[in-house]
Structure 1
Amino acid sequence: MTDFDGDDLRGSRFHRVDLSGARFRDVDLRAAVMRGVELGDADIDGDITGLTLNGVDVAPLVEAELDRRDPDRATMRPTGPDGFRAAYDLLERRWAETVARARRLDPALLHESVDDEWSFVETLRHLVFVTDSWVRRAILGEPAPWHPLALPWDGMPDLPGVPRDRAARPSLDTVLDVLRDRRATVRAVLAGLTEESLDADTEPADGPGWPPPRSFPVRECLLTLLNEEYQHRLYAERDLAVLETR
């Protein structure tokens, strides 16, 4: 078994290679071309667009099926201020249900990883990072808004001032207190959202950090927030189901 971590394999060619049982995490496969592939019992999730299998673009089919399974999923693609407010309200309600489910477990389990994914507490810490980055920094212009418990994604390069404390083991309530504060900030931003401000671009934040110090569409920042909150709750629910069996 060979580990590739941080390697640049762009443009590589793989011929008669056995990848059975291989695991890919945080991998960029844009514009990858695969021919003569034997794919069975595979499990793939991520930001998948333009995926063609045997001549069929299956990405729209996947999207339609996901919307069918969760009719509220389309709410995460709002177009106007009221839609963004409704989407965030829905997320808060759903997360409240997920947190209530987590509280029924032994608190120690909330620091356990399932299949090398973030623990439940780490997932909430990441949501703090997302709000600090895309709302407090990108939209509100705070140069260094990150709480010490904020947790970036693992593949992000180290950036001055951005915390990355994987060894921290805060209690669930400690992280929830921080998250409640961040969500109050989001609600305040959404309360004042108008068609004009939604269509505007942000002013670049000063100094290094994430996102980079450049301008972004406000709409893009808020859609990123919704997507992160929605997807990570699904991951959390998936892993809680495993933890409940331990």
Structure 2
Amino acid sequence: MEQQLDRRFPGREPRGSHHGAELLQSWDAVSAHWAAACRTPDELPAGTQDLSVDGEWSFAQTLRHLVMATDTWLRGCIFGEEHPYHPIGVPNHEYALDGYDKSVFSESNPDFARVLQVRAERQQQVRDFLLVQDAQSLQAARRHPWDAEHSAMLSVGAALRVLLDEEYEHLCYAVWDLKSLAVRGEGQRRQGQPADENPGPE
């Protein structure tokens, strides 16, 4: 399965590397895959980016979740910012259940152009950071962002590898969902029905 995904998404394999250059290579690759995926909704019926498949996040919500993921692992964990989160972010479903304040994500319905803009800014922040990393800096210790006791530690490199895993995992599902929506839209067009405009849950 892993080898199949590596073939499907060239550049995925080095995501677990302990070398900065290889992590940068994998980041550039996943960013290119996402850029291609972000062009797909333009080829589908209007509003496709806001549609859900089987109750999962829409494409736009997935990008917003990755904004949140970058804020968690880069801005919060690595940079140590006290308030790392952008208001358009979408947290995972356990965020509020674990006692975290969901009100920081106050922009519940940003337009897609804004989502793409913020997402691009976060991607560039990661790339700029990776450009200046070496073996020593990747080994620097940081507090784990999800440890309530603030005692668990991980390295900068480990935090970046978690972020890369998030990027590739969500890419796989997002590409699959876009293909499903394209098939659904084609079937509706053949039957003379309007495309489904039911967005996924926030």
Q: In the alignment, does 2:116 pair up with 1:116?
A: no
Equivalent in the alignment of 2:23: 84
Once the two structures are TM-superposed, the CA of residue 126 in structure 1 deviates from its matched residue by 0.3
1:69-218 to 2 correspondence within 5 Å? 70=9, 72-156=11-95, 157-160=98-101, 163-164=104-105, 168-202=108-142, 204=143, 210=146, 212=148, 213-214=150-151, 215-218=153-156
Deviations 1:73-128 (A, max 9, x none): 31222220100110111011111100011222234221111011100000000000
- Distance, in Å, in 2 between the alignment partners of 1:75 and 1:148 is 31
Secondary structure of the equivalent of 1:138? Answer: helix
Residues paired across the two proteins, number = 180
> Any unmatched runs of 5+ in structure 1?
1-61
Once the two structures are TM-superposed, the CA of residue 219 in structure 1 deviates from its matched residue by 1.4
Once the two structures are TM-superposed, the CA of residue 163 in structure 1 deviates from its matched residue by 3.3
Q: Is the 8 A contact 1:138 1:211 kept in 2?
A: no
Equivalent in the alignment of 2:175: 237
Equivalent in the alignment of 1:220: 158
Secondary structure of the equivalent of 1:151? Answer: coil
- Distance, in Å, in 2 between the alignment partners of 1:191 and 1:162 is 33
Secondary structure of the equivalent of 1:216? Answer: strand
Once the two structures are TM-superposed, the CA of residue 68 in structure 1 deviates from its matched residue by 5.1
Q: Is the 8 A contact 1:146 1:162 kept in 2?
A: no
Secondary structure of the equivalent of 1:146? Answer: coil
Q: Is the 8 A contact 1:134 1:211 kept in 2?
A: no
Secondary structure of the equivalent of 2:164? Answer: helix
Q: Is the 8 A contact 2:76 2:84 kept in 1?
A: yes
Q: Is the 8 A contact 1:133 1:211 kept in 2?
A: no
Secondary structure of the equivalent of 2:88? Answer: coil
1:31-50 to 2 correspondence within 5 Å? none
- Distance, in Å, in 2 between the alignment partners of 1:139 and 1:186 is 11
- Distance, in Å, in 2 between the alignment partners of 1:69 and 1:93 is 13
Once the two structures are TM-superposed, the CA of residue 216 in structure 1 deviates from its matched residue by 2.2
1:41-60 to 2 correspondence within 5 Å? none
Q: Greater share of helix residues, 1 or 2?
A: 2
Once the two structures are TM-superposed, the CA of residue 164 in structure 1 deviates from its matched residue by 4.7
- Distance, in Å, in 2 between the alignment partners of 1:150 and 1:70 is 25
What amino acid is aligned across from residue 97 of structure 1 in structure 2?
A
TM-score (normalised: structure 2): 0.80
Q: Is the 8 A contact 1:129 1:152 kept in 2?
A: yes
- Distance, in Å, in 1 between the alignment partners of 2:128 and 2:8 is 31
Equivalent in the alignment of 1:28: none
Once the two structures are TM-superposed, the CA of residue 176 in structure 1 deviates from its matched residue by 0.8
Q: Percent identity?
A: 33
Once the two structures are TM-superposed, the CA of residue 147 in structure 1 deviates from its matched residue by 0.6
TM-score (normalised: structure 1): 0.66
If asked which structure has higher relative contact order (CA below 8 Å, sep 6+), I would say: 2
- Distance, in Å, in 2 between the alignment partners of 1:195 and 1:81 is 7
Q: Is the 8 A contact 2:15 2:26 kept in 1?
A: yes
- Distance, in Å, in 1 between the alignment partners of 2:103 and 2:154 is 20
C-alpha RMSD of matched pairs (Å): 2.2
Deviations 1:121-165 (A, max 9, x none): 000000000000000010001011101111111122241366356
